[in-house]
Each structure stands twice: as C-alpha cells, then as structure tokens.
Structure 1
Amino acid sequence: MADGNQAKPAERLSAQTQAMNGAQYVAGVLKEEGVKQIIGFPASELFDASAELDIRPIIARTQRVAVNIAEGYARATAGRELAVVTVQYGPGAESAFAGIAQAFNDGVPMLFLPTGYPRGSEAVAPNFESRRNFTHITKWCEAATRVADLPKLMHAAISRVRNGRPAPVLLELPVDLLAEKVDALPADHRRPRRSKPQADDGEVARLVETLLEAKNPIIWAGQGVLSASASQELVELAELLNIPVMTTPNGKSGFPEDHPLALGTAGRARPATVDHFLAKSDVVFALGSSLTRSYYILPVPDDKIILQVTLDEADLGKDYAIAQGVIGDAASVLKQMIDLIRRDYLPLGERPRPAAEIAAIREAFMEKWMPLLTSDSTPISPYRVVWEIMQTIDPRNSIVTHDAGNPRDQFCPFYVASSPGSYIGWGKTTQLGSGLGFAIGAKLARPEATVVNLMGESAFGMVGLDFETAVRCNLPVLTVVLRNNVLGGYAKSMPIATAKYDANRVTGNYAPIAEALGGYGECVTEPKSLRPALLRALNRIAAGQAALIEVVTHEEPRLAGLW
C-alpha cells in the first residue's frame, strides 16, 4: 500500500526546484548537454551558476576574442560539442558583435547567451537590445521574457545550433529573469539530435550521371565537408571516379592535401594546380560549399557546369547560376552517391587519371617558389617562416591557423593539411586578430594537439593581450608574429598618406610582451636562428607554457597565383 504521506509529482518537482533560479536552470541544461566550459567576459550570472556544476569558465580579455575562442572550439570539434559564449548586457554584447558577425559569415555553430537589461528597460535608449541588433548575424535570435519559457527556449536554441545551416544562435537572458525561481528540472531537458538530411534518389542519380559524363570534372569542397565529418567519404568518391579535389579556404583540410588527387586551396593566393585544373574543368561539383563570391576566394569561371550540395537552401544559385542544386548533408549525399556508383555503374571503364599531371604541376610550382621559401635574406622572408613552420611541426597531430591579409595568403598555398580539422582556414570577412582566439579555442577542444597561429603585427595589435588568456587558462599555443614595421599591403591603398606621413608604419617589440604576460617570448632576426627558435618554442608549449616567436621580416608583395 502506498504511503499516504507520499508527495505528489507536482509537489516533488516544486521541492526539487524551489532553490533553482533561471541562471541555475540554464547552467543545468548546459551540463545535461555535456558542456565542459562556458566562454566569455564578465559579468554574467551564468558563470557562477555554471561553476557550481563544475563547468569551467574561460574568461577572455575582450568579448570579441571570447567569441573567437568559441569559434575555434566549434571548428576543432566539427560542431560535435556545444560551444557556448556569454557576456554582459549593454557594452558586453556590443563588443561581442564583431566576433558573432565573423562566425556568421564563416558558418560556425555556437550558442550565444548574452544577458539582457531588466525587462521593461531593454528598449529604452541608449540601452542595447541584443535580440533586436543581432538579428542579421544570427540564424535565430530571441529573448526570454518569462522564466517559465526557459525550458522550451533552451531546447529550441540548441536544436537550431545542431541542425540546418551552421551559424550562431542567440538567446538573450534578462538579468532579472535569471534571478527568478523556475519550476522545471534540467534533468527533464531532452537533448536535440542532429539531423543529417539526404537527397532524393533521383537527384543523386543526376549528380552521378553528370560527373560520369564530364570529361574533366573537379570537386570543390567547402567547410560543409568538415562540418559533416565527411572527409573519408570524399576521399572514397574521388578515388572511385578519379576526380581531382580542391577546397575553399574554410574547407582546407577537408580533403588530405598529401593525396595524389589533391589540388590545394582555391583562395585569393593559391597553388598552380588549382588554376590549371579549374581552367581545364567542364564540371565543378561544389560539395558543402555556399559558393560565395569573395575577394578572398578564387571565382568559378562562367563557362563551367556547376553542381552544388549544401545544407542551406539560401545558398542555391546565390552567387552563381547552377545546373543542379541539392539540399543535403555532405556525408549523407556522398554515401548515397558511392552506394549508387558501386551498385549500378561498376566497372566504370577507362577514365582520366590526373594524378601524374597534378604531381608534375605541383613540382614545377614548388620549384618556382623554393628560392623564397628557403631564402637566406635579412630581414627574413615571410616565406622562410612558412617553410620553417612546415619543417618543425607534425601536421598529423597539429592544428594551424593564420590571420587575415598577408599571413593567410603566404601560408595557405604552401602548408599541406593532411588530416581533417588540422587547419582552421577562414575569411569571408577578415577581421584582423581572429586567429589568436581560434587557436586558443582549438587548443581547448584538442589539448593533445600542437596548435600554431601565424599572424602579423597589425593583427597582434588588435588582440595581443589575449595571449595572456592562453597563459592564464593553461592553453599553451604557439603564436608566430611577423614583424616588418608596416601595415602589410596597405601603402597601395593610401599612397599619399604613406608618402607624406608614413601612415602605413607601426613600431613595437612583441616578444617582451609575451614574457611580461607570463609566456615564453623570443625574437628572431637571422634565418639560421629561426628553426632552433621554433623548436625551443614547441618544447615550451609541450611543457605547458604559451609561446610567442617574433620574426623580423621584410614586406613581401609576391603572392602565389597573383605573381
């Protein structure tokens, strides 16, 4: 017989939650989702609520870099783990805007939980309302107005992070709401699963038929390949059909660049293999790519037949006229294509075998650039820095990234990314300094990896104090700063200001800053000293200390594919 004094379910729920406020409920949901850390800059009521549940706070020096760290974490985990950022209402949310815009344009999933002004004052000038102002740089942007709605709003927000086009999702949490008691249990939160949409069988058949009928098809692999963890399937399809593969800058490492069919990255600066095979192609199969036209991405010529597979229907025909567009997860569609080919089309008969041609063009390209890559000039050539990084790290257990401008254009064409996620390429918008946060986030996601960030001194000037975040949070990354005392490439955009007032000049020494912030710092002025310095820095980060190598270089205008 049941105990007559036993509490009813509603009474038990009320007793369990009587001490839980909105902030604690949100933190409890994050715990249920397996979140290991919450990134941001105080004040946010979510930091203490999360710390109570052993969710580690990662406090950056600026809100923008906090968002960059979350982006690096999301990219390094291929979105499999929830990246969460919180900042204070008003100035905190305002300062985070640039980082969220960068993540939105580069298609990176994260959960952004800014606090909000107390309800009733959020729309009073000059108060900054996140829900209103972030609408165009998030794919879902809402504010909680009743504490009772937190369970469904948190479920809806996380569902949108996990599904559809990867992008930031925002839920604004007013501070007075976070202090209210909530009559719900985080344990009742149902974790949303990720959906992996497949294509229609007829659509898959048309994709396969077009590729098989093409004389010189190529695959244009975007970030969607990395987001879907589809590299293995991409290699299988490329080998099955003997199709060369190039990647977008964001998709770099989605196809192993030491593979015989790899062409490299189709960025503004790129290897000769990309130009040769893109010009020669008749069909371009854009897989997991938005096909965005950008100054930083090589355009697809108008005479190509373009096939496109993407998760976002808004990508279809956005910037290019396409012959066929398919909505689907890159891995799912690849598996469908492979199954169809193996079932209905084997043996394929004689097909072009481009591997030898790729190797010959790559060899000639590298022969042309080796004098710069191995140059003994003083000041040091930035290409020598690229070369020495390539010689000193193991790409199989490393993650590298770059900053905007010349570091990206000098690094990307030459670095061979041999495993998925080993390179964080970025830049539909190119905010100087983003690479440092990306590196810290990547180290947070994969502590066993060697993480290297290449940046210029202008980028360091934007975010350099967040080197201390890497030191303080025990996230030892290696930052290599190219110092040539100029804003690289900017003189041509302001020749009069440069000639009359040295407007492109900057000054400073950066290794001492790293040491003052608690890291290892070293300045290199001679080419022969560069490799030993890098090895010393790698030993330091292996021992747990963030390191910075400052390299005095000359300004180098020559870029692969543009010179």
Structure 2
Amino acid sequence: MKGKELVAEILKREGVEFLPCYPAQELIDPCAKLGIKPIVCRQERMGMAIADGYSRINNGNKIGVFTMQRGPGSENAFPGAAQAYSDNSPILILPGGEDTHQTGISPVFSPSENYKNITKWSIQANHVERIPNLLRKAFYELKTGKGSPVLVEIPINILETEYKEEISYSPPTGNKISPDSNEVREVAKFLISSNTPVIHAGQGCLYAEAWNELQDIATLLDAPVMTTNTGKSAFPENHPLSLGAAGRSVTGHGFKFMQESDVIFGIGCSFSKTFYNPQIPANKTIIHSTNDAFDINKDQQSHMGLVGDAKLTLQLLIEEIKSLTDGKGRTKTRKVKDEVLTAKTEWLSKWNNQLYSDEIPLNQYRIINDLMATVDREHTIITHDAGSPRDQLVSMWECVAPRTYIGWGKSTQLGFGLGVIMGAKLAKPDYTCINIMGDAAIGMVGLDIETAVRNNLGIITIVFNNGIMAIESDHMPYAAKTYDAIRQDGNYAEIAKALGAWSKTIKSPDEIIPSIKEAINVSKTGQPVLLDCHVKAGFDFSIHKY
C-alpha cells in the first residue's frame, strides 16, 4: 500500500469516524474507502473548528482530525490551530506537504515549522517507514497530559511512496499523572483549616470526567464552586453550591464569594491572565492543581501546588479529607448554601427587567432566558461566539449536565462557534446543538451553514442581528459617527434559506418560544436552522471589577 493508504488504515484503527477536510488532499479518498466520512468545509479554519468541537464533546476520548491541502490550505488553517492551542484542545492536524526535495526552499510553506508555536508537537514525516511511529507518538501526545493540537506533515511524495512492511500499528494508551500522596495530605489539611474556601474549576475537570468528584469535594469542604468559561458545565449550576461561571463577565454571587474567600482552590485550570479569563482577586491564598506543572506559579502565586489529573487528584483529596475528619468534612462555620441562594437571587433580580423584557427590537437576554426555559438543557449543547454573545451567555445560561456548554475565548476568533457546534453535533447527534452569534461572526463564516446542510447536521444558529458591531461603539466613536464604520447588516434568514437551511426572522418577544420549538423540531430531521433575531444594539454585561 502507499503512504496515504497507510495513514488511512491507522486512522481507522484509532477509531476515527469523521474527517473534516478541504481538498486537494490525497488522504480524503483512502479514508473514505475505509468508511471515514469526509466533512468538506467551505474554509479551512471551520474544518479545524469542527475537529475541535468533536474532541471537546468527547473529552478527548475520541480525537478530532483535520486535513488540508499543502500550501494555501495549510496557511488558511493556521487560525484554527491557534484557537485550539489557546484553549488546549487535542486535535490531530494532517496537512499536506510539498515534495521533500523542496524542503527549506523559499517560498514553500512548511506546516511543521510554521505551526510549532501553536502545537504541542509538530513534525514532518520524511520517510514512509516513519509514518506508523510518528502517528503513534502523535496520538499518545493527544491522549496524555494537557490537551493541544499535534501536527504531522506528510509530504506529497511520501504519501505516494509504497509502504512494503507489515502494519503492526496498535493505538497507544495515554497516561495520567497522580500527585504525590504527602503533598495531597498537606493540601487537604490546609483546605480543612480554611475559613471561606472557594473552588475554581477549569476544563481539566471536563477532560478528566471529574464532575462527580467535584461535587463530592465541594460538599466535604462546604465550598462553593465557580467554573471558568471553558470549564462551564463541569459543576451543575442548579446545585446549591454553584457560583456559575466566569469569563470576562461573571455572576454576581460568583463575584461576591470570590471576593470574600480566604482560599481559592484551583482544580483543572491554568489561572492564566488574559482579558477574557476569570479575574482573580488580589491577596488570596491559592492552591493550584493542574496536570501541567508549567501553569503553577505562572500568572498567580501559589501557596501549594499539585500536579496530576483532575479526577485522580480529587479522589485522593476526598479520601484524605475524609480520613482527617472522620468522614465529616470541613467544619461548617456559616450557612454557605443559604448565602449563595440569597446572593444569586439578589443578582438575578437586577437583571429581571432584561431577562423578561418586552422590548422591540428584542433584548438579547430575553432570548437567552426564553431559550433556557424551552430546551431540554440536559440534552442540549450550546456555544457562543466571540464578543457580546460570549459575555451575555456565560453568566446567564444555567448548565445542569456536563459537556452541555462549549466555552471558548482565550483566542477570540469571530465565527468559531459555527464550526465547533458542528463538531458537537457529529459527536452527539441526538442532542440539540445551538450556537449564538452576532452580525460580525456570521459575516465571516456564514457560508459554512451549507456545510451543515450538506452533511445533515441539524444545528440551530441564533443570530443576534442588530445591524452593527455594538460592542465596538466605544472603541471608534468618531469613525462610527462620521463613516458609519460599525454598521454591518444583512438578511441572514434569506441567506440561510438560499444555502438550504430552514430559517425564520423573529422581531417580537411573543415569537421567540414558538420559533424555538419549531426550530428544534426541524433540526431533528437533520436540516440546519437559522433564527434571525432582530435585537437592540445593547451590550450590557454582568462585569464586576475586583
């Protein structure tokens, strides 16, 4: 067999079912012949996003793979890899490469060289005999430690070279790290002795599938839990100890308890300081547990650190806390659950006029609230796009089951939500899969709605259509006033219809719930849906400053 057929056989053995891709790529046909369905996108970064969403919803247990044309295809896909790298998503990237005789010759684009800063590992397969070992290493890296993209560039002449050896490839098993038992004991003692601890949970809890342990330790410590945007849904937000989630925006009760805490226990998070990440109050004692030692003491000073898989770490901590307290947990010094409920109720009361608004144009929070009241949240996956939809959704949407929310945004690329929700639908075809985007986002990637149509991916896209980039109003007031520079408009319902989707325009509050119900029914047939919601130019967010 040739190198391209060898790669296809290895992907099949790894359980790959779908191949987001963009031609010309020599791997597409050999993979298709083995039953790996090609998902041909309209642009490369959308294909990368589809693979990303697939990996996330499968918690890395199934790996999303993306392949693209050598040269311009690899260049166009670069932003998708940057997004995955910033959010620590494990995806396998298989770019085409120029003939090895052209290696290092300008202006030939070398994916393995140019992607090094946005991948966990990046290499060129310069001999066909190396393909099995390099792909084995690639999948091992994807299954071990903190997630990130891995890239294996396979030049065109290597793909066409005969592989004469017997294929002895077996999928590798990833490794999980467990923290030192003495360090666990010291952390357990410290947490037990704290007065007002808060748990800060990141997406490591999702990839480790540690949601049960997260609830157990919260109960033992009587500690409320705040998740990051990427970690949102790791802890049920209808739980009496939930503080919701935070990105740039944050719940009112989350802000209050973080501010009043004496100890913040970070589990499965990086504590990275970015404009879009949760803000951490100054002068707090931080206990940091992550599977990547590099993140400890990177941006936040840690009093103690634990390096290990979130699930294994929490299991050891729970066992140690029970041992130290005769199974009782930390001594309760206040009625935390009552205080959380009071603070949550007080915060939401300040938003009721928007959550139940009858405004025309529509209020975005009314749409979110009606959507939350209509869908089966336990079997719905929702994501946002960059900008206003992210900041509106993360604090207001209440998750009740793990992996029902795709939070993203350390790199905030407009339009990413459309691709990532298609990947979610591939992973969970029986779930209702929804993405919310604004005018600017759909303007960048809207034609890929046809990708969903062509592949019978019954996703629901909700467009907050106010005709302008409202969040940019304060950034460029002169240009906006003089040249109308923030205006972006369109009839997105008609565009979606022309692409083969079912669509509807919503202008009145009483249309929201009936339209959502209709959209859900249509999506179950495999036809994508777009709801073009005419909203106000509002950008009020639940942002609090420490």
Per-residue CA deviations over 1:140-186 (Å, capped at 9, x if unaligned) read: 00001111111111111111111122000000000110000112344
Task: Trace 1:318-467 onto structure 2 (pairs within 5 A).
Answer: 318-346=298-326, 347-348=328-329, 350-352=331-333, 353-467=335-449
Which of 201, 209, 216 is equivalent to 2:196?
216
Higher mean Cα deviation, 166-175 or 122-131? 122-131
Give the aligned residue type for 2:248.
R
Tell me, in whole angstroms, the C-alpha distance in 1 between the residues paired with 2:51 and 2:544. 33
1:244 aligns with 2:202: no
The one-letter amino acid of 2:5's match is: Q
Whether contact under 8 Å (2:220, 2:330) holds in the other structure is: no
2:251 maps to 1:271: yes
Tell me, yes or no, if structure 1 residue 159 matches structure 2 residue 140. Answer: yes
Which residue matches 2:103?
122
Instruction: Say which of 160, 163, 177 aligns to 2:158.
Output: 177
* 1:258–1:155 Cα change, 3 Å: same
What corresponds to 1:231 in structure 2?
Answer: 211
The whole-number CA distance in structure 1 between the counterparts of 2:440 and 2:526 is: 27
Provide the C-alpha distance between the structure 2 equivalents of 1:231 and 1:349, rounded to a whole number of angstroms.
20
Letter in 2 for 1:106: D
SS at match of 1:256: coil
Structure 1 position 141 matched with structure 2 position 128: no
Q: SS of the residue aligned with 2:315?
A: helix
1:190 aligns with 2:154: no
Shift of 1:332: 0.5
**Identity score, percent:** 39
Preserved contact between residue 189 and residue 321 of structure 2 (Cα < 8 Å)? no
Q: 1:349 to 1:338 in 2, by over 3 A?
A: closer
Within 5 Å, give how 1:74-93 maps onto structure 2.
74-93=55-74
| In 2: Cα distance, 1:145 partner to 1:511 partner | 48
- Residue 498 (structure 1) aligns with: 480
1:376 alignment partner AA = D
Counterpart of 1:143, as a letter, is Q
Q: Distance in 1 between matches of 2:269 and 2:249?
A: 19
Partners of 1:28 and 1:76 in 2: CA distance: 24
Tell whether 2:293 aligns with 1:313. Answer: yes
> Aligned match of 1:510 in 492, 498, 502?
492
Q: Secondary structure at the match of 1:492?
A: coil
Q: Give the aligned partner of residue 277 of structure 2.
A: 297
RMSD of equivalent CA atoms: 1.1
Q: Which residue of 1 aligns with 2:44?
A: 63
TM-score normalised per structure 2: 0.98
What is the alpha-carbon distance in structure 1 between the residues aligned to residue 180 and residue 518 of structure 2?
54
In the alignment, structure 2 segments of 5+ residues that lack a partner are none
Deviation at 1:562, TM superposition (A): 4.5
Aligned twin of 1:207: 187
AA in 1 matched with 2:87 = D
Pairing 1:555–2:546 present: no
Match of 1:438, SS? Answer: helix
> What is the letter of the counterpart of residue 308 of structure 2?
G
State the distance in 2 between where 1:552 and 1:200 align: 55
Consecutive unaligned residues of structure 1, counting only runs of 5 or more, are 1-19
How far has the Cα of 1:344 moved from its partner? 3.3
Given that 1:151 and 1:184 are in contact with CA atoms closer than 8 Å, whether structure 2 keeps it comes out as no
Corresponding pairs, count: 543
Q: SS in structure 1 opposite 2:425?
A: helix
Taking structure 1 as the reference length, the TM-score comes to 0.95
The aligned counterpart of 1:22 is 3
Instruction: Please name the residue that 1:5 is paired with.
Output: none
**SS of residue matched to 2:395:** coil
C-alpha distance in 2 between matches for 1:531 and 1:396: 18
Cα deviation digits, residues 404-437 of structure 1 (max 9, x gap): 1110111111111111100000111100000000
